[in-house]
Chains A and B, each alone.
Chain A
Amino acid sequence: MKTKKELKLNHRKTVKAERNVKILLFTAASTTIVFITLITLFIFMETIPVFLNENLRIKILFSQVWAPAYEKYGILPLIMGSIIVVTGALVISIPVGLCTAIYIAEEASESLKDVFKSAIEMFAAIPSVIYGFIGLVTLTPIVAKIFGLSSGKNAFSASIILAIMVLPTIMSLSSEIISSVPKEYREVSFALGASKWQTIKNVILPTAKPGILAAIILAFGRAIGETVAVLMVCGAAGSMPGFPFFFDAVFPMTAAIAMYMGEAPMGGELYRTLFFLGLILFIITFIVNTVADAILKKSKSATSGGIEI
Protein backbone atom coordinates (compact mmCIF):
# COMPACT_ATOMS: atom_id res chain seq x y z
CA MET A 1 0.00 0.00 0.00
CA LYS A 2 1.19 3.49 -0.78
CA THR A 3 1.14 5.97 1.98
CA LYS A 4 -1.04 9.02 1.73
CA LYS A 5 2.03 11.17 1.26
CA GLU A 6 3.24 9.12 -1.69
CA LEU A 7 -0.17 9.30 -3.34
CA LYS A 8 -0.23 13.04 -2.93
CA LEU A 9 3.22 13.31 -4.45
CA ASN A 10 2.16 11.11 -7.32
CA HIS A 11 -0.87 13.24 -7.90
CA ARG A 12 1.20 16.38 -7.91
CA LYS A 13 3.51 14.77 -10.46
CA THR A 14 0.67 13.91 -12.84
CA VAL A 15 -0.78 17.38 -12.55
CA LYS A 16 2.60 18.81 -13.39
CA ALA A 17 3.06 16.43 -16.31
CA GLU A 18 -0.37 17.33 -17.63
CA ARG A 19 0.50 20.99 -17.50
CA ASN A 20 3.80 20.42 -19.29
CA VAL A 21 2.07 18.53 -22.08
CA LYS A 22 -0.40 21.34 -22.51
CA ILE A 23 2.39 23.90 -22.67
CA LEU A 24 4.27 21.81 -25.21
CA LEU A 25 1.22 21.44 -27.43
CA PHE A 26 0.47 25.12 -27.15
CA THR A 27 4.03 25.90 -28.20
CA ALA A 28 3.61 23.72 -31.27
CA ALA A 29 0.39 25.53 -32.14
CA SER A 30 1.93 28.95 -31.66
CA THR A 31 4.73 28.25 -34.14
CA THR A 32 2.14 29.05 -36.80
CA ILE A 33 1.78 32.55 -35.39
CA VAL A 34 5.56 32.85 -35.16
CA PHE A 35 5.97 31.86 -38.80
CA ILE A 36 3.35 34.23 -40.19
CA THR A 37 4.78 37.06 -38.10
CA LEU A 38 8.33 36.34 -39.26
CA ILE A 39 7.24 36.20 -42.89
CA THR A 40 5.42 39.52 -42.59
CA LEU A 41 8.35 41.11 -40.80
CA PHE A 42 11.13 39.94 -43.06
CA ILE A 43 9.38 40.51 -46.37
CA PHE A 44 8.49 43.99 -45.19
CA MET A 45 11.95 44.75 -43.85
CA GLU A 46 13.63 43.89 -47.14
CA THR A 47 11.41 46.37 -48.96
CA ILE A 48 11.86 49.33 -46.61
CA PRO A 49 14.57 50.90 -48.86
CA VAL A 50 11.99 51.05 -51.64
CA PHE A 51 9.88 53.34 -49.48
CA LEU A 52 12.85 55.44 -48.39
CA ASN A 53 14.78 55.76 -51.63
CA GLU A 54 12.88 58.12 -53.92
CA ASN A 55 15.02 57.33 -56.94
CA LEU A 56 14.30 53.65 -56.72
CA ARG A 57 10.64 54.31 -56.03
CA ILE A 58 10.29 56.33 -59.21
CA LYS A 59 12.22 53.70 -61.14
CA ILE A 60 9.92 50.95 -59.91
CA LEU A 61 6.56 52.64 -60.05
CA PHE A 62 6.74 54.83 -63.14
CA SER A 63 8.89 52.98 -65.64
CA GLN A 64 6.97 51.14 -68.35
CA VAL A 65 9.69 48.59 -68.96
CA TRP A 66 10.96 45.63 -66.99
CA ALA A 67 14.49 44.92 -68.19
CA PRO A 68 16.83 44.20 -65.26
CA ALA A 69 19.76 43.73 -67.64
CA TYR A 70 19.46 47.45 -68.48
CA GLU A 71 18.60 48.42 -64.92
CA LYS A 72 14.98 49.09 -65.82
CA TYR A 73 12.80 47.92 -62.98
CA GLY A 74 9.32 49.09 -63.93
CA ILE A 75 6.83 46.79 -62.25
CA LEU A 76 3.78 48.07 -64.13
CA PRO A 77 4.14 45.56 -66.96
CA LEU A 78 4.50 42.80 -64.36
CA ILE A 79 1.36 43.88 -62.51
CA MET A 80 -0.48 44.11 -65.83
CA GLY A 81 0.80 40.64 -66.68
CA SER A 82 -0.56 39.22 -63.45
CA ILE A 83 -3.93 40.94 -63.89
CA ILE A 84 -4.33 39.75 -67.48
CA VAL A 85 -3.36 36.18 -66.81
CA VAL A 86 -5.44 35.83 -63.63
CA THR A 87 -8.48 37.47 -65.23
CA GLY A 88 -8.24 35.10 -68.16
CA ALA A 89 -7.90 32.12 -65.87
CA LEU A 90 -10.93 33.09 -63.80
CA VAL A 91 -13.09 33.83 -66.85
CA ILE A 92 -12.45 30.27 -67.98
CA SER A 93 -12.49 28.47 -64.65
CA ILE A 94 -15.45 30.06 -62.86
CA PRO A 95 -18.22 28.94 -65.26
CA VAL A 96 -16.67 25.53 -65.89
CA GLY A 97 -15.93 25.04 -62.20
CA LEU A 98 -19.46 25.98 -61.14
CA CYS A 99 -21.24 23.85 -63.74
CA THR A 100 -19.16 20.81 -62.91
CA ALA A 101 -19.52 21.41 -59.17
CA ILE A 102 -23.31 21.54 -59.54
CA TYR A 103 -23.21 18.31 -61.47
CA ILE A 104 -21.05 16.56 -58.88
CA ALA A 105 -23.13 17.78 -55.95
CA GLU A 106 -26.64 17.43 -57.41
CA GLU A 107 -26.60 14.87 -60.19
CA ALA A 108 -23.87 12.33 -59.57
CA SER A 109 -24.65 9.23 -57.53
CA GLU A 110 -22.92 8.79 -54.19
CA SER A 111 -20.30 6.37 -55.50
CA LEU A 112 -19.61 8.48 -58.61
CA LYS A 113 -19.28 11.52 -56.37
CA ASP A 114 -16.42 9.85 -54.52
CA VAL A 115 -14.75 8.93 -57.79
CA PHE A 116 -15.00 12.50 -59.09
CA LYS A 117 -13.75 13.95 -55.85
CA SER A 118 -10.74 11.65 -55.79
CA ALA A 119 -10.03 12.49 -59.42
CA ILE A 120 -10.16 16.21 -58.68
CA GLU A 121 -7.84 15.69 -55.76
CA MET A 122 -5.35 13.81 -57.89
CA PHE A 123 -5.31 16.58 -60.47
CA ALA A 124 -4.92 19.19 -57.78
CA ALA A 125 -1.84 17.29 -56.66
CA ILE A 126 -0.02 17.50 -59.99
CA PRO A 127 3.03 19.68 -59.34
CA SER A 128 3.12 23.01 -61.07
CA VAL A 129 6.38 22.26 -62.93
CA ILE A 130 4.54 19.39 -64.56
CA TYR A 131 1.62 21.60 -65.56
CA GLY A 132 4.19 23.97 -67.02
CA PHE A 133 5.90 21.15 -68.88
CA ILE A 134 2.61 19.84 -70.28
CA GLY A 135 1.62 23.35 -71.28
CA LEU A 136 4.94 23.82 -73.02
CA VAL A 137 4.80 20.63 -75.07
CA THR A 138 1.07 20.40 -75.80
CA LEU A 139 -0.67 23.73 -75.38
CA THR A 140 1.75 26.32 -76.76
CA PRO A 141 2.19 24.63 -80.18
CA ILE A 142 -1.61 24.34 -80.52
CA VAL A 143 -2.15 27.98 -79.56
CA ALA A 144 0.56 29.10 -81.99
CA LYS A 145 -1.02 27.10 -84.78
CA ILE A 146 -4.62 28.11 -84.23
CA PHE A 147 -3.90 31.81 -83.99
CA GLY A 148 -1.06 31.86 -86.49
CA LEU A 149 1.51 33.14 -84.02
CA SER A 150 5.24 32.57 -84.12
CA SER A 151 5.17 31.39 -80.51
CA GLY A 152 2.39 30.07 -78.35
CA LYS A 153 4.02 31.40 -75.21
CA ASN A 154 1.66 34.20 -74.31
CA ALA A 155 -0.95 35.40 -71.84
CA PHE A 156 -3.61 33.20 -73.45
CA SER A 157 -1.68 29.97 -72.87
CA ALA A 158 -0.80 31.06 -69.35
CA SER A 159 -4.48 31.74 -68.64
CA ILE A 160 -5.53 28.30 -69.83
CA ILE A 161 -2.91 26.48 -67.79
CA LEU A 162 -3.74 28.59 -64.77
CA ALA A 163 -7.46 27.94 -65.24
CA ILE A 164 -6.85 24.20 -65.20
CA MET A 165 -4.72 24.58 -62.08
CA VAL A 166 -7.32 26.53 -60.08
CA LEU A 167 -10.30 24.49 -61.25
CA PRO A 168 -9.89 21.89 -58.48
CA THR A 169 -10.08 24.66 -55.86
CA ILE A 170 -13.34 26.02 -57.27
CA MET A 171 -14.83 22.58 -57.96
CA SER A 172 -14.11 20.89 -54.67
CA LEU A 173 -15.06 23.84 -52.46
CA SER A 174 -18.21 24.73 -54.42
CA SER A 175 -19.48 21.16 -54.62
CA GLU A 176 -18.82 20.78 -50.89
CA ILE A 177 -20.83 23.94 -50.22
CA ILE A 178 -23.69 23.05 -52.58
CA SER A 179 -23.92 19.61 -50.94
CA SER A 180 -24.14 21.21 -47.53
CA VAL A 181 -27.34 23.13 -48.37
CA PRO A 182 -29.92 21.42 -46.13
CA LYS A 183 -32.03 18.72 -47.78
CA GLU A 184 -35.25 20.39 -46.62
CA TYR A 185 -34.63 23.34 -48.95
CA ARG A 186 -34.76 21.02 -51.94
CA GLU A 187 -37.75 19.09 -50.67
CA VAL A 188 -39.79 22.23 -50.05
CA SER A 189 -38.95 23.52 -53.51
CA PHE A 190 -39.89 20.22 -55.14
CA ALA A 191 -43.10 20.07 -53.11
CA LEU A 192 -44.03 23.50 -54.47
CA GLY A 193 -43.74 22.06 -57.96
CA ALA A 194 -40.33 23.39 -58.98
CA SER A 195 -38.22 21.33 -61.35
CA LYS A 196 -34.70 20.25 -60.51
CA TRP A 197 -33.03 23.04 -62.45
CA GLN A 198 -35.44 25.61 -61.02
CA THR A 199 -34.60 24.36 -57.55
CA ILE A 200 -30.88 24.62 -58.23
CA LYS A 201 -31.19 28.07 -59.79
CA ASN A 202 -33.66 29.61 -57.36
CA VAL A 203 -33.03 27.86 -54.08
CA ILE A 204 -29.68 26.09 -53.87
CA LEU A 205 -27.39 28.54 -55.64
CA PRO A 206 -28.68 31.61 -53.77
CA THR A 207 -28.17 29.75 -50.48
CA ALA A 208 -24.71 28.61 -51.47
CA LYS A 209 -23.75 31.99 -52.94
CA PRO A 210 -21.49 33.23 -50.11
CA GLY A 211 -19.59 29.95 -50.03
CA ILE A 212 -19.17 29.92 -53.79
CA LEU A 213 -17.93 33.48 -53.63
CA ALA A 214 -15.36 32.39 -51.06
CA ALA A 215 -14.28 29.55 -53.36
CA ILE A 216 -13.77 32.02 -56.21
CA ILE A 217 -11.83 34.39 -53.98
CA LEU A 218 -9.58 31.54 -52.85
CA ALA A 219 -9.08 30.52 -56.48
CA PHE A 220 -8.05 34.08 -57.24
CA GLY A 221 -5.48 33.92 -54.45
CA ARG A 222 -4.16 30.65 -55.83
CA ALA A 223 -3.98 32.00 -59.35
CA ILE A 224 -2.14 35.19 -58.51
CA GLY A 225 0.46 33.29 -56.46
CA GLU A 226 1.09 30.54 -58.99
CA THR A 227 4.62 30.74 -60.29
CA VAL A 228 6.43 28.01 -62.10
CA ALA A 229 3.80 26.82 -64.58
CA VAL A 230 2.97 30.39 -65.51
CA LEU A 231 6.62 31.29 -66.02
CA MET A 232 7.06 28.46 -68.49
CA VAL A 233 4.25 29.44 -70.84
CA CYS A 234 3.90 33.21 -70.39
CA GLY A 235 6.67 34.22 -72.78
CA ALA A 236 8.47 36.32 -70.14
CA ALA A 237 8.49 39.67 -71.92
CA GLY A 238 8.99 42.77 -69.79
CA SER A 239 7.33 45.35 -72.05
CA MET A 240 3.85 46.69 -71.53
CA PRO A 241 1.36 44.29 -73.13
CA GLY A 242 -0.81 46.03 -75.73
CA PHE A 243 -4.48 45.58 -76.55
CA PRO A 244 -6.01 42.97 -76.92
CA PHE A 245 -3.51 41.69 -74.34
CA PHE A 246 -4.03 37.96 -74.62
CA PHE A 247 -1.74 37.23 -77.51
CA ASP A 248 1.19 39.18 -76.14
CA ALA A 249 3.95 37.60 -74.16
CA VAL A 250 3.62 38.75 -70.55
CA PHE A 251 5.61 38.55 -67.36
CA PRO A 252 3.49 38.10 -64.22
CA MET A 253 4.96 39.21 -60.88
CA THR A 254 5.57 35.70 -59.56
CA ALA A 255 7.37 34.68 -62.73
CA ALA A 256 9.68 37.68 -62.50
CA ILE A 257 10.63 36.82 -58.93
CA ALA A 258 11.40 33.21 -59.84
CA MET A 259 13.38 34.24 -62.89
CA TYR A 260 15.55 36.99 -61.39
CA MET A 261 15.94 36.24 -57.68
CA GLY A 262 18.84 33.88 -58.33
CA GLU A 263 20.91 36.58 -60.02
CA ALA A 264 19.93 39.56 -57.87
CA PRO A 265 22.85 40.81 -55.77
CA MET A 266 21.88 40.93 -52.10
CA GLY A 267 20.57 44.37 -51.15
CA GLY A 268 20.77 45.75 -54.70
CA GLU A 269 18.00 47.55 -56.55
CA LEU A 270 16.80 44.41 -58.33
CA TYR A 271 16.74 42.56 -55.01
CA ARG A 272 14.62 45.30 -53.40
CA THR A 273 12.28 45.39 -56.37
CA LEU A 274 11.72 41.65 -56.28
CA PHE A 275 10.97 41.78 -52.58
CA PHE A 276 8.58 44.65 -53.23
CA LEU A 277 6.74 42.36 -55.66
CA GLY A 278 6.76 39.68 -52.97
CA LEU A 279 5.23 42.13 -50.53
CA ILE A 280 2.45 43.03 -52.99
CA LEU A 281 1.67 39.34 -53.48
CA PHE A 282 1.79 38.69 -49.77
CA ILE A 283 -0.62 41.51 -48.97
CA ILE A 284 -3.04 40.49 -51.73
CA THR A 285 -3.14 36.85 -50.65
CA PHE A 286 -3.37 37.81 -46.99
CA ILE A 287 -6.45 39.94 -47.65
CA VAL A 288 -7.93 37.33 -49.98
CA ASN A 289 -7.57 34.57 -47.40
CA THR A 290 -8.90 36.61 -44.53
CA VAL A 291 -11.95 37.67 -46.52
CA ALA A 292 -12.67 34.17 -47.81
CA ASP A 293 -12.23 32.81 -44.31
CA ALA A 294 -14.69 35.31 -42.86
CA ILE A 295 -17.27 34.56 -45.56
CA LEU A 296 -16.94 30.82 -45.05
CA LYS A 297 -17.28 31.10 -41.28
CA LYS A 298 -20.37 33.27 -41.64
CA SER A 299 -22.07 31.03 -44.18
CA LYS A 300 -21.14 28.01 -42.11
CA SER A 301 -22.97 29.33 -39.09
CA ALA A 302 -25.88 30.43 -41.31
CA THR A 303 -26.60 27.03 -42.86
CA SER A 304 -24.94 25.14 -40.00
CA GLY A 305 -24.02 22.48 -42.52
CA GLY A 306 -20.76 20.59 -42.23
CA ILE A 307 -18.52 22.40 -44.66
CA GLU A 308 -15.00 21.09 -44.76
CA ILE A 309 -12.20 23.10 -46.19
Chain B
Amino acid sequence: MNTDNRRRIKDNIILSFFGIQLLMLLIILSYMVGILIIGGIHVISWKTVFTSMLKGGLFETIIGTFLLFNGTAILAAPIGLGAAIYLSEYASKNNKIVRLIDQAINNLAGVPSIVTGLFGYTFFVKTLRFGISLMSGWLTLTIMALPIIVRGSEEAIRMVPKEFRETAMALGATKWQAIKDNVLPTATPGIATSIILGIARIAGETAAILFTACALTMRGLPRTPFDPIISLTYYLFVILVTSPSTSQNKAYAAAIILLSLVFLLNLVAIVLRAHYRRKWRR
Protein backbone atom coordinates (compact mmCIF):
# COMPACT_ATOMS: atom_id res chain seq x y z
CA MET B 1 0.00 0.00 0.00
CA ASN B 2 2.81 2.32 0.95
CA THR B 3 4.68 1.87 -2.32
CA ASP B 4 1.40 2.30 -4.12
CA ASN B 5 0.91 5.70 -2.55
CA ARG B 6 4.44 6.73 -3.28
CA ARG B 7 3.98 5.74 -6.89
CA ARG B 8 0.81 7.72 -7.16
CA ILE B 9 2.54 10.79 -5.76
CA LYS B 10 5.38 10.34 -8.22
CA ASP B 11 2.85 10.05 -11.03
CA ASN B 12 1.17 13.23 -9.98
CA ILE B 13 4.42 15.16 -9.66
CA ILE B 14 5.66 14.15 -13.08
CA LEU B 15 2.39 14.79 -14.88
CA SER B 16 1.79 18.10 -13.13
CA PHE B 17 5.30 19.12 -14.14
CA PHE B 18 4.32 18.43 -17.76
CA GLY B 19 1.09 20.36 -17.29
CA ILE B 20 2.97 23.31 -15.83
CA GLN B 21 5.22 23.35 -18.87
CA LEU B 22 2.21 23.50 -21.12
CA LEU B 23 0.71 26.27 -19.05
CA MET B 24 3.95 28.25 -19.10
CA LEU B 25 4.24 27.84 -22.83
CA LEU B 26 0.72 29.15 -23.34
CA ILE B 27 1.47 32.06 -21.00
CA ILE B 28 4.67 32.94 -22.86
CA LEU B 29 2.89 32.84 -26.21
CA SER B 30 -0.02 34.93 -24.96
CA TYR B 31 2.46 37.36 -23.44
CA MET B 32 4.18 37.74 -26.79
CA VAL B 33 0.92 38.43 -28.58
CA GLY B 34 -0.11 40.71 -25.74
CA ILE B 35 3.06 42.81 -26.08
CA LEU B 36 2.21 43.36 -29.73
CA ILE B 37 -1.32 44.38 -28.98
CA ILE B 38 -0.36 46.69 -26.12
CA GLY B 39 2.35 48.28 -28.24
CA GLY B 40 0.10 48.81 -31.19
CA ILE B 41 -3.39 49.39 -29.91
CA HIS B 42 -2.94 53.14 -29.54
CA VAL B 43 -1.32 53.46 -32.96
CA ILE B 44 -3.93 51.66 -34.94
CA SER B 45 -7.09 53.31 -36.18
CA TRP B 46 -9.37 53.18 -39.19
CA LYS B 47 -7.38 56.09 -40.50
CA THR B 48 -4.18 54.03 -40.67
CA VAL B 49 -6.05 51.33 -42.52
CA PHE B 50 -7.56 53.59 -45.14
CA THR B 51 -4.85 56.22 -45.63
CA SER B 52 -2.31 55.85 -48.41
CA MET B 53 1.29 55.04 -47.46
CA LEU B 54 2.39 58.33 -48.93
CA LYS B 55 0.33 60.04 -46.26
CA GLY B 56 1.48 57.81 -43.42
CA GLY B 57 -1.12 55.04 -43.67
CA LEU B 58 -0.96 51.38 -44.61
CA PHE B 59 -3.66 51.19 -47.28
CA GLU B 60 -1.49 49.82 -50.11
CA THR B 61 0.00 47.07 -47.96
CA ILE B 62 -3.43 45.83 -46.93
CA ILE B 63 -4.76 45.88 -50.47
CA GLY B 64 -1.57 44.13 -51.59
CA THR B 65 -2.08 41.34 -49.08
CA PHE B 66 -5.71 40.90 -50.10
CA LEU B 67 -4.88 40.84 -53.81
CA LEU B 68 -2.14 38.33 -53.16
CA PHE B 69 -4.14 35.77 -51.23
CA ASN B 70 -7.36 36.15 -53.20
CA GLY B 71 -5.61 35.53 -56.49
CA THR B 72 -3.76 32.57 -55.02
CA ALA B 73 -7.01 31.11 -53.72
CA ILE B 74 -8.62 31.42 -57.15
CA LEU B 75 -5.69 29.54 -58.70
CA ALA B 76 -4.99 27.00 -55.98
CA ALA B 77 -8.52 26.07 -54.86
CA PRO B 78 -9.72 24.41 -58.09
CA ILE B 79 -6.43 22.59 -58.66
CA GLY B 80 -6.25 21.48 -55.04
CA LEU B 81 -9.85 20.37 -54.93
CA GLY B 82 -9.49 18.50 -58.22
CA ALA B 83 -6.41 16.72 -56.91
CA ALA B 84 -8.19 15.89 -53.66
CA ILE B 85 -11.20 14.43 -55.49
CA TYR B 86 -8.92 12.37 -57.69
CA LEU B 87 -6.90 11.04 -54.76
CA SER B 88 -9.89 10.20 -52.58
CA GLU B 89 -12.38 8.93 -55.16
CA TYR B 90 -10.59 7.72 -58.27
CA ALA B 91 -7.04 6.76 -57.34
CA SER B 92 -6.21 3.21 -56.38
CA LYS B 93 -3.71 3.02 -53.55
CA ASN B 94 -1.26 0.70 -55.26
CA ASN B 95 -0.97 2.64 -58.47
CA LYS B 96 2.60 3.87 -59.00
CA ILE B 97 1.61 7.31 -60.24
CA VAL B 98 -0.76 7.79 -57.34
CA ARG B 99 2.02 7.03 -54.90
CA LEU B 100 4.22 9.49 -56.78
CA ILE B 101 1.54 12.19 -56.50
CA ASP B 102 1.24 11.46 -52.78
CA GLN B 103 4.99 11.76 -52.37
CA ALA B 104 5.05 14.96 -54.42
CA ILE B 105 2.45 16.58 -52.18
CA ASN B 106 4.39 15.69 -49.04
CA ASN B 107 7.60 16.98 -50.52
CA LEU B 108 5.97 20.20 -51.73
CA ALA B 109 4.67 20.75 -48.21
CA GLY B 110 8.22 20.47 -46.93
CA VAL B 111 10.02 22.77 -49.34
CA PRO B 112 11.19 25.81 -47.34
CA SER B 113 9.35 28.92 -48.47
CA ILE B 114 12.61 30.69 -49.29
CA VAL B 115 13.46 27.91 -51.74
CA THR B 116 10.02 28.17 -53.30
CA GLY B 117 10.78 31.88 -53.59
CA LEU B 118 14.07 31.17 -55.38
CA PHE B 119 12.26 28.89 -57.78
CA GLY B 120 9.56 31.49 -58.36
CA TYR B 121 12.25 34.01 -59.15
CA THR B 122 14.06 31.92 -61.79
CA PHE B 123 10.94 30.37 -63.29
CA PHE B 124 8.05 32.84 -63.11
CA VAL B 125 9.94 36.12 -62.84
CA LYS B 126 12.82 35.41 -65.23
CA THR B 127 12.11 32.40 -67.47
CA LEU B 128 8.42 33.16 -68.10
CA ARG B 129 9.19 36.90 -67.95
CA PHE B 130 6.33 37.81 -65.64
CA GLY B 131 8.68 40.13 -63.81
CA ILE B 132 8.45 40.87 -60.11
CA SER B 133 4.70 41.04 -60.09
CA LEU B 134 1.41 40.01 -58.60
CA MET B 135 1.24 37.21 -61.18
CA SER B 136 4.60 35.72 -60.16
CA GLY B 137 3.51 36.00 -56.55
CA TRP B 138 0.22 34.20 -57.20
CA LEU B 139 1.90 31.33 -58.98
CA THR B 140 4.67 30.98 -56.39
CA LEU B 141 2.20 31.03 -53.52
CA THR B 142 -0.07 28.54 -55.30
CA ILE B 143 2.73 26.00 -54.92
CA MET B 144 2.72 26.63 -51.17
CA ALA B 145 -1.04 26.58 -50.72
CA LEU B 146 -1.64 23.43 -52.79
CA PRO B 147 -0.48 20.80 -50.28
CA ILE B 148 -2.60 22.34 -47.51
CA ILE B 149 -5.72 22.46 -49.69
CA VAL B 150 -5.24 18.97 -51.12
CA ARG B 151 -4.65 17.30 -47.75
CA GLY B 152 -7.51 19.09 -46.03
CA SER B 153 -10.03 18.54 -48.83
CA GLU B 154 -8.98 14.91 -49.14
CA GLU B 155 -9.70 14.33 -45.47
CA ALA B 156 -13.08 16.07 -45.76
CA ILE B 157 -14.12 14.02 -48.79
CA ARG B 158 -12.99 10.73 -47.25
CA MET B 159 -15.09 11.50 -44.19
CA VAL B 160 -18.32 11.42 -46.20
CA PRO B 161 -19.93 8.00 -45.54
CA LYS B 162 -19.76 5.39 -48.31
CA GLU B 163 -23.55 5.18 -48.45
CA PHE B 164 -23.78 8.64 -50.01
CA ARG B 165 -22.07 7.34 -53.11
CA GLU B 166 -23.70 3.94 -53.18
CA THR B 167 -27.24 5.26 -52.87
CA ALA B 168 -26.82 7.71 -55.70
CA MET B 169 -25.18 5.14 -57.94
CA ALA B 170 -27.87 2.58 -57.15
CA LEU B 171 -30.39 5.13 -58.39
CA GLY B 172 -28.58 5.24 -61.71
CA ALA B 173 -26.26 8.19 -61.21
CA THR B 174 -22.79 7.93 -62.65
CA LYS B 175 -19.78 8.09 -60.40
CA TRP B 176 -19.11 11.74 -61.14
CA GLN B 177 -22.78 12.64 -60.67
CA ALA B 178 -22.74 10.93 -57.29
CA ILE B 179 -19.62 12.83 -56.28
CA LYS B 180 -20.84 16.15 -57.61
CA ASP B 181 -24.38 16.00 -56.23
CA ASN B 182 -23.94 14.03 -53.01
CA VAL B 183 -20.37 13.84 -51.83
CA LEU B 184 -19.07 17.35 -52.53
CA PRO B 185 -22.01 19.24 -51.01
CA THR B 186 -21.61 17.17 -47.85
CA ALA B 187 -17.88 17.79 -47.75
CA THR B 188 -18.16 21.52 -48.44
CA PRO B 189 -17.47 22.74 -44.89
CA GLY B 190 -14.31 20.64 -44.75
CA ILE B 191 -13.19 21.78 -48.16
CA ALA B 192 -13.83 25.39 -47.17
CA THR B 193 -11.75 24.83 -44.03
CA SER B 194 -8.79 23.63 -46.03
CA ILE B 195 -8.99 26.55 -48.43
CA ILE B 196 -9.18 29.04 -45.57
CA LEU B 197 -6.17 27.42 -43.89
CA GLY B 198 -4.29 27.64 -47.17
CA ILE B 199 -5.18 31.32 -47.47
CA ALA B 200 -4.13 31.99 -43.87
CA ARG B 201 -0.75 30.46 -44.59
CA ILE B 202 -0.35 32.61 -47.70
CA ALA B 203 -1.46 35.83 -46.02
CA GLY B 204 1.38 35.55 -43.52
CA GLU B 205 4.04 34.47 -45.97
CA THR B 206 7.10 36.62 -46.48
CA ALA B 207 10.10 34.68 -47.75
CA ALA B 208 8.40 33.35 -50.89
CA ILE B 209 7.27 36.77 -52.08
CA LEU B 210 10.41 38.74 -51.20
CA PHE B 211 11.79 38.55 -54.73
CA THR B 212 8.79 37.37 -56.70
CA ALA B 213 5.97 39.81 -55.99
CA CYS B 214 7.13 42.73 -53.89
CA ALA B 215 9.03 45.89 -54.56
CA LEU B 216 9.54 48.98 -52.49
CA THR B 217 9.30 51.37 -55.41
CA MET B 218 5.73 52.34 -54.87
CA ARG B 219 3.66 53.55 -57.73
CA GLY B 220 0.42 53.37 -55.88
CA LEU B 221 -1.80 50.36 -56.27
CA PRO B 222 -0.99 47.82 -58.98
CA ARG B 223 -2.91 48.46 -62.19
CA THR B 224 -2.35 45.11 -63.86
CA PRO B 225 -1.35 41.66 -62.58
CA PHE B 226 2.11 42.37 -63.93
CA ASP B 227 2.80 45.20 -61.51
CA PRO B 228 4.68 44.60 -58.26
CA ILE B 229 2.86 45.04 -54.98
CA ILE B 230 3.68 45.71 -51.38
CA SER B 231 2.15 43.44 -48.74
CA LEU B 232 1.80 43.72 -44.98
CA THR B 233 4.45 41.06 -44.46
CA TYR B 234 6.89 42.62 -46.91
CA TYR B 235 6.39 46.04 -45.39
CA LEU B 236 7.11 44.65 -41.91
CA PHE B 237 10.14 42.80 -43.21
CA VAL B 238 11.63 45.89 -44.81
CA ILE B 239 11.05 48.09 -41.79
CA LEU B 240 12.39 45.57 -39.31
CA VAL B 241 15.41 44.37 -41.26
CA THR B 242 16.65 47.63 -42.71
CA SER B 243 15.67 50.24 -40.14
CA PRO B 244 14.33 48.69 -36.95
CA SER B 245 14.47 51.89 -34.89
CA THR B 246 12.49 54.13 -37.21
CA SER B 247 8.75 53.90 -37.77
CA GLN B 248 8.24 51.33 -35.00
CA ASN B 249 4.72 52.63 -34.55
CA LYS B 250 3.71 51.74 -38.07
CA ALA B 251 5.35 48.34 -37.69
CA TYR B 252 3.14 47.68 -34.66
CA ALA B 253 0.07 48.75 -36.60
CA ALA B 254 0.95 46.53 -39.56
CA ALA B 255 1.69 43.60 -37.25
CA ILE B 256 -1.65 43.91 -35.50
CA ILE B 257 -3.57 44.07 -38.77
CA LEU B 258 -1.70 41.05 -40.11
CA LEU B 259 -2.14 39.07 -36.91
CA SER B 260 -5.86 39.83 -36.71
CA LEU B 261 -6.31 38.73 -40.30
CA VAL B 262 -4.47 35.45 -39.79
CA PHE B 263 -6.15 34.71 -36.45
CA LEU B 264 -9.56 35.46 -37.89
CA LEU B 265 -9.03 33.12 -40.82
CA ASN B 266 -7.77 30.35 -38.53
CA LEU B 267 -10.59 30.84 -36.08
CA VAL B 268 -13.15 30.45 -38.84
CA ALA B 269 -11.36 27.33 -40.05
CA ILE B 270 -11.17 25.79 -36.57
CA VAL B 271 -14.84 26.45 -35.80
CA LEU B 272 -15.94 25.13 -39.18
CA ARG B 273 -13.88 21.99 -38.77
CA ALA B 274 -15.03 21.30 -35.23
CA HIS B 275 -18.56 21.56 -36.55
CA TYR B 276 -18.24 19.08 -39.38
CA ARG B 277 -16.01 16.66 -37.48
CA ARG B 278 -18.63 16.39 -34.75
CA LYS B 279 -21.17 15.62 -37.43
CA TRP B 280 -19.27 12.82 -39.12
CA ARG B 281 -17.21 11.14 -36.41
CA ARG B 282 -18.91 7.92 -35.56
Contacts and interface: CB of A to CB of B under 8 A. Distances in A.
Contact of B22 (A100, A232, A258): A100
Given A25-B86, A46-B122, A290-B103, A119 B110 contact: no
Contact of B11 (A119, A130, A196): A196
A36 to B, nearest CB: 5
Contact of B146 (A32, A106, A132, A286): A32
Contacts of A232: 240-241
B31 to A, nearest CB: 8
B91 interface: yes
B266 interface: yes
Interface residues of A, number: 85
A289 B176 contact: no
Interface string A176-218: 0000000000000000000111100000000000000000001
A36 B118 contact: no
A274 B146 contact: no
Nearest to A33: B104
B217 to A, nearest CB: 12
A125 B263 contact: yes
Contacts of A257: 114, 118
Main secondary structure of the interface of A (DSSP, over half): helix
A238 B13 CA distance: 46
B174 A137 contact: no
Contacts, number: 246
Contacts of A7: none
Interface stretch (B52-60, B75-83, B181-189): B75-83
Interface string B4-46: 0001101100110111011001101100110110010000000
Interface string A22-55: 1011111111110110110011011000000000
A308 interface: yes
Interface in B91-145: 91, 97, 100-101, 103-119, 121-123, 126-127, 143
Nearest to B244: A136
B106 to A, nearest CB: 5
Contacts of B14: 197
A26 B123 contact: no
Interface string B149-162: 01100010000000
Contacts of B251: 133
B210 interface: yes
A34 B224 CA distance: 27
B168 interface: no
Contacts of A116: 22
B101 A32 contact: yes
Interface in A103-122: 103-104, 106-107, 114, 116, 118-119, 121-122
Q: 5 closest A-B pairs (Cβ-Cβ)? A: A225-B112, A127-B204, A28-B82, A289-B110, A25-B86
Interface of B: 7-8, 10-11, 14-15, 17-19, 21-22, 25-26, 28-29, 32-33, 35-36, 39, 78-83, 85-87, 90-91, 97, 100-101, 103-119, 121-123, 126-127, 143, 146-147, 150-151, 155, 174-176, 200-201, 203-207, 210-211, 233, 236-237, 240-241, 244, 248, 251, 255, 258-259, 262-263, 265-267, 270, 274
25 contacts: A32-B146, A32-B147, A33-B101, A35-B143, A39-B111, A103-B19, A107-B15, A116-B22, A125-B262, A127-B258, A128-B207, A129-B206, A129-B240, A130-B236, A133-B251, A164-B29, A195-B7, A195-B10, A227-B113, A262-B210, A266-B126, A281-B114, A290-B107, A293-B106, A308-B155
Given A18-B174, A31-B79, A39-B111, 7 more contacts: A43-B119, A103-B18, A114-B274, A118-B270, A121-B266, A125-B201, A133-B255
